[in-house]
Structure 1
């Protein structure tokens, strides 16, 4: 596809199937927790440290747990894959864990048991995410292909992530399903079954079609700390750290939305299908733009897209807390998606440019870890902040986007050698 290494396309297809499974759960788990089919803890409605334990907060915690455990483990799995010179075995192991835990959702009957399954799933994901991204980076034959590789990879992955929520809402609403011998399958269990199928398809594709490029075991230090200050003393902060912070804030802005499914549907007078379309709008915009933006970032440079995306991000997020109709929410979500597309692939490509030979798993895990933390913090933050007003979670996300913009403008230099960036106002492209 577009001259991209076949293995990158296969990895992208495998992640697309896995992303369908994960995005199903983002839509299904809030509905499942709020449905009454799951026994909730008796402390719901009480106050802890002045924060009311609402159903939205319980949902946010369940969604966040995946991201927290996933992110904590990613530096270790990324470093281990560098030191062993292996990627594929880690990817397959993680996909296996995701498949098994997706089955387990249909077996639990309490909120606490669901949290255990969600936590195990997060640990499984930690073996997939940094190693897959590192393998895509390894397959780039030069810096001038890196943005394009990440653009293709993210496009397919996001097709799965965007397609899943729409189908998930339809699958749950259409249940229960009649089975032979008078049995029935609930809409929730049918959705969990689709998640299992997605993981199994990914395992099959990686097993049969992926061959790793030869790579030496990296002489990586056991020190897992992240450099905060710039060791070259050219800027105050290390550029990979700043890219990680920008990715963190961007991911938080994306993840604010899912926890508020019921309040958003009530405010806009819509159902789960409309919500699934709005949730997917961010992803659809990325699907359309990831490849051309990745290719353009290989020609023009990384920084113009990083800055431009963050300029759009703040108003797009804030607008979601102010709109009053399904269609205006959809427009705001599409703008949000455009901004994410301008940041995502160029940030990964910039980090790949900065990675030392044989240490792409370690370096890129900073961004994948940051994205995971963002998807964990976002639902939890929106669950807490929603109690202070509907607009507050989105105002919080917009403020983070502005902070990311300032950091990237002042602390990240262009990483693509020979890039001639277009002139932007206030020296943003310099």
Structure 2
């Protein structure tokens, strides 16, 4: 499990590198050629968003295929290898068309990797430890996500470099580091991770690609995993609202890029410190109270970001928002793991990972549109989404840890007590 967490951290460092690098690289004048009749800004936005939308479409397919094969590890390794190749060939791209194709290749790599990784973590956990394991896994992911942009800015500004007598630009160095990060993740999984034995899996994978919509086993209207996925979609959209509003926020608060960077980062800091202990607590006290409570706290925390008038207040609201999201994340994934048959873990978790990826892709687009109606409007919209998510989980999701903590869940790895 720790090897998977380290691999996910290495991969996240490389992917988050590109959050900073790609817009600067596209705007540097290196990329030229046909724009398909679109403006430069629009084609740049399409390139950046192609990754998220393609990954969203493919994740359920990849998750279901990993269920049918019972081989999670090979999907993770192949996905990370694809990411390594894609990250490297960015350094060779010179046209908008090639950038779009490479970004799509990245989306394929992520789609292969993420559902299988979370499913494997689930299968290596027990119901008594699943919340803590998911918390540790997410902690390492957020460490990588937070470290990547900081390292990227340093690498770009420090270029050019001399490597083996060759001069490389800061952009090339950043792409190489991102490629190496993905390859390190693949090597860690190859050397240190094994799939659970087939006889330990307690269910056969479905032959159909998809997920349940209605719940036929309980009193709720829709399937609880789908309800969790929709709630996570709302959370991701609310979190991603901040990214495209940097200019408006800086003007409103009278601040510069440095303070905005701090405001962006404190959310991740809260995730790093709180995911694991909250996950452990959910193993003891139950999943649902943490999920609903976290979503409920997100409502005022998100709205407050549109109402505060000082950088210090914005930092405080972002910290609270990060704590609230951490309260929902690890227990939410653990609850889905409790509900999943191990043979269908990939399909089950693809609902959650797809929802989060889609939310981070469409959140910035919605924020950019809504801010034209007023500065506070995007944040109010995010608060409404969080409230709907809390209501959805409260009404449609049942607690899985009732009585004994040993509920249905992933099998114990061979040889582990």
What is the TM-score with the length of structure 1 in the denominator?
A: 0.86
* Distance in 2 (alpha carbons) for counterparts of 1:197 and 1:181: 17
The size of the alignment, in residue pairs, is: 402
Offset of residue 104 of structure 1: 2.0
Corresponding position of 1:15: 8
Label 1:27 to 1:147 Cα distance change in 2 as closer, same or farther (>3 A). Answer: same
Corresponding position of 1:168: 152
Corresponding position of 2:409: none
Q: 1:383 aligns with which of 328, 351, 368?
A: 368
Corresponding position of 2:408: none
Deviations 1:188-212 (A, max 9, x none): 3322222112112111211111122
| Contact 2:299 2:384 survives alignment (8 Å) | yes
Label 1:261 to 1:60 Cα distance change in 2 as closer, same or farther (>3 A). Answer: farther
- Secondary structure of 1:179's counterpart equals strand
Corresponding position of 2:68: 83
| Contact 2:211 2:347 survives alignment (8 Å) | no
> Does the alignment pair 1:418 with 2:411?
no
**Which aligned pairs between 1:53-202 and structure 2 lie closer than 5 A?**
55=41, 60-140=45-125, 142-172=126-156, 174-179=157-162, 184-202=167-185
| Contact 2:87 2:176 survives alignment (8 Å) | yes
Label 1:236 to 1:166 Cα distance change in 2 as closer, same or farther (>3 A). Answer: same
Offset of residue 23 of structure 1: 1.2
**Which aligned pairs between 1:201-216 and structure 2 lie closer than 5 A?**
201-216=184-199
Label 1:181 to 1:169 Cα distance change in 2 as closer, same or farther (>3 A). Answer: closer
**Which aligned pairs between 1:251-290 and structure 2 lie closer than 5 A?**
251-265=236-250, 267-268=252-253, 272-290=257-275
* Distance in 2 (alpha carbons) for counterparts of 1:170 and 1:93: 30
* Distance in 2 (alpha carbons) for counterparts of 1:302 and 1:362: 21
Offset of residue 121 of structure 1: 0.3
**Which aligned pairs between 1:222-371 and structure 2 lie closer than 5 A?**
222-265=207-250, 267-268=252-253, 272-371=257-356
Offset of residue 396 of structure 1: 2.3
Q: 2:382 aligns with which of 389, 393, 397?
A: 397
| Contact 1:249 1:400 survives alignment (8 Å) | yes
| Contact 1:64 1:379 survives alignment (8 Å) | no
- Secondary structure of 1:89's counterpart equals helix
Offset of residue 183 of structure 1: 6.2
Label 1:232 to 1:345 Cα distance change in 2 as closer, same or farther (>3 A). Answer: same
Q: CA RMSD in A?
A: 2.5
* Distance in 2 (alpha carbons) for counterparts of 1:66 and 1:100: 15
Worse overlay, 361-370 or 310-319: 310-319
Label 1:106 to 1:257 Cα distance change in 2 as closer, same or farther (>3 A). Answer: farther
Deviations 1:200-228 (A, max 9, x none): 21112111111222124753222223222
- Secondary structure of 1:359's counterpart equals helix
Deviations 1:322-363 (A, max 9, x none): 445443332222122111101111111111111124211121
* Distance in 2 (alpha carbons) for counterparts of 1:339 and 1:253: 12
Offset of residue 181 of structure 1: 9.3
* Distance in 2 (alpha carbons) for counterparts of 1:211 and 1:102: 26
* Distance in 2 (alpha carbons) for counterparts of 1:274 and 1:17: 27
Worse overlay, 9-18 or 180-189: 180-189
| Contact 1:314 1:398 survives alignment (8 Å) | yes
* Distance in 2 (alpha carbons) for counterparts of 1:380 and 1:98: 25
What is the TM-score with the length of structure 2 in the denominator?
A: 0.88
Offset of residue 265 of structure 1: 4.7
Offset of residue 59 of structure 1: 5.1
Deviations 1:36-76 (A, max 9, x none): 4434838566xxxxxxxx93x65544333212111211111
